[in-house]
Amino acid sequence: MPEKPCYKEPDENLRLLKKPPARRSSSYDDGEEDRIKYKNLFEDAPIGIGAVEKENRITSANPCLCRLLGRRKDELVGLRFEDIAHPDDYQQIKDFVEAKAAKGLPLSSIRREVRLLKKDGQYVWTELVTSAMEYEDGQLSFGMGMIVDLSERKHTEQALKQSEKRYRSIYSQSPIAIELFDRNGVLLDVNQACLDIFGVQSIESVQEHNLFDARSIPPEQQEILQCGEPVRFQTIFDFEVVKKHHLYPTSKNGKIWLDVFITPTGPPNFEYLLQIQDITLRKLTEIKLQESESRWKFALEGAGDGVWDWNVQTSEVYFSNQWKAMLGYNDEDIGPTLEEWEKRVHPEDRKETLEDVRDHLSGKTRVYQNEHRVLCKDGSYKWVLDRGKTVERSGDGTPLRVIGTHSDISDRKEWELEREHLIQELRQTLDQVKTLSGLLPICSFCKKIRNDEGSWDKLESYIQKHSEATFSHGVCKECAKIHYPELKLYEE
């Protein structure tokens, strides 16, 4: 409800609104015009206005007051004020009036927050401002009051209280350390988690700590912060330095890693909110992981294998120096993307290779393994054995990280190719040879061989039938001496 002048200066308005009855002053006569003006002000006022006389009985109520209490005018007139006021609130007003009277002090007005009873039995919060009060023999004979609906304000106040309580609970119970500084960097408040991180018993121990004197905040971050921009950084906090310079008493020792996020708040306060997390365990884990990765990368590369580490979500790939050197590239020749590898796979091998990759990512294979050719810097292709395994997946099973190796198998492929060539030649040779096996019946005198039909064939005829061999005829030395002695073919 917008503020009205009549609400801000109730006494003046009530003086105008009050029109004393003729019985109180026979000389009072403002005329018909003034009477109509005062009546319109009373009836059209945007706040509740009522009048009481003896015994605190209501004698008049304007439409706004009737709407506020959900009652007709005739239902309000005749009720005593205590009939509609909350007992606790009425008692406070009564005690206040009696205390004033006991001291002999004049009581011209009262301003109180009062709960008034509506027709439906519910109480509504209001602000009551009474004025133009007249007394006879120490008893109230006439009084007027303005009543403003505070329901919305009270609802807002209650919501703010609940919100403050909720956020205060979050603030005090948060596992994240929280610090609050004013615009000059003076510490205003910290939560329990902050005291625990820094080994401090109470805020008084660090009350003189100034944000902009903090040794742990890098100078460049302080400059950004003082320009009104939020900053986030990680830093090592050394408790031995705190003790050496007697900055404040602490029960902690050694060093811890901190993740610090500082946010400047806007007007009207212009404060700084710090959120601090102890990430020492995470950092130590990262360091151990890096050391472990360094060891296995060293072991693999020491064996001559190239290492790759693929972030599936971003398509970023780490290619080791050995991976690049294996193909004749320098470190700067190949960028950290999946495309750098994919475009170098031989066109004839690419389809099958990518299918094997997809099968592994989908979980069809436990390990990815494929042999393919990769383009070297000199334009030639080198055979590699590419092996990998998914080492990290999301909660729903989506692959996040795959690591693997490239092994140069060019020599093995060349040997396999040569072996295949020799095997092929041997097969072709064997295909041209008919083999003779088993027991052959041969004549002891003429050396003929009995065939499958029972006939006897000459030796050369039988061999020609059962193999690819052919014969040419000649005469050996012994036979030449016997059959052609006159030719002296083989003389010593």
User: So what's the pLDDT on residue 301?
Assistant: 61
- For the stretch 64-78, pLDDT in tens is 999 999 999 999 999
User: So what's the pLDDT on residue 28?
Assistant: 46
CA distance linking residue 210 with residue 487, whole number of Å: 129
- For the segment 289-300, the average pLDDT, to the nearest whole number, is 69
Tell me how long the chain is.
Answer: 492
Which among 242, 280, 48, 11 has a CA at the least distance from the CA of 151? Answer: 48
- For the stretch 84-127, pLDDT in tens is 999 999 999 888 888 887 887 767 778 899 999 999 999 999 99
Q: Assign 3-state DSSP to the chain and report helix, strand, coil percentages, each to 5.
A: 40, 25, 35
What angle (nearest 5°) sits at the alpha carbon of residue 136, between those of residues 9 and 29? 60
User: So what's the pLDDT on residue 430?
Assistant: 64
Both tokens assigned to 275: 């959120």
* pLDDT surpasses 60 at 186: yes
Whole-number average pLDDT of the chain: 83
- For the stretch 390-427, pLDDT in tens is 988 988 889 999 988 899 999 998 898 888 888 888 77
* pLDDT surpasses 90 at 3: no
CB atoms within 10 A of CB 122: 10
CA distances from 268 to 182, 265, 290 (A): 11, 9, 47
CA distances from 25 to 28, 32, 130, 195 (A): 5, 17, 22, 73
User: So what's the pLDDT on residue 134?
Assistant: 64
The residues facing 114 across adjacent strands are 126
Longest dimension (CA), the chain: 192
Q: For the ranges 41-55, 284-298, 315-329, which has the lowest average pLDDT?
A: 284-298
User: So what's the pLDDT on residue 135?
Assistant: 62
User: So what's the pLDDT on residue 481?
Assistant: 78
* pLDDT surpasses 90 at 364: yes
User: So what's the pLDDT on residue 26?
Assistant: 43
What angle (nearest 5°) sits at the alpha carbon of residue 281, between those of residues 276 and 286? 110
* pLDDT surpasses 70 at 291: yes
User: So what's the pLDDT on residue 9?
Assistant: 37
CA distances from 217 to 249, 264, 377, 446 (A): 20, 15, 48, 114
CA distances from 252 to 180, 196, 234 (A): 22, 9, 19
Whose structure tokens read 């120096």?
321
Instruction: List all residues 6 or more positions away from 401 whose beta carbon is below 8 Å from its beta carbon.
Output: 309, 310, 311, 312, 390, 391, 392
What's the Rg (C-alpha) of the chain?
53
The residues facing 447 across adjacent strands are none
Strands 231-238, 255-264: pairing kind: antiparallel
Which among 110, 116, 109 has a CA at the least distance from the CA of 149? Answer: 116
What angle (nearest 5°) sits at the alpha carbon of residue 155, between those of residues 154 and 161? 85
Which among 272, 268, 318 has a CA at the least distance from the CA of 297? Answer: 318
- Band (pLDDT 50/70/90 cuts) for residue 19 is very low
Domains, in order of start, for the chain: 5-154 (3.30.450.20), 174-278 (3.30.450.20), 303-413 (3.30.450.20), 440-492 (no CATH)
Q: For the ranges 89-98, 117-126, 165-174, 271-280, which has the lowest average pLDDT?
A: 165-174
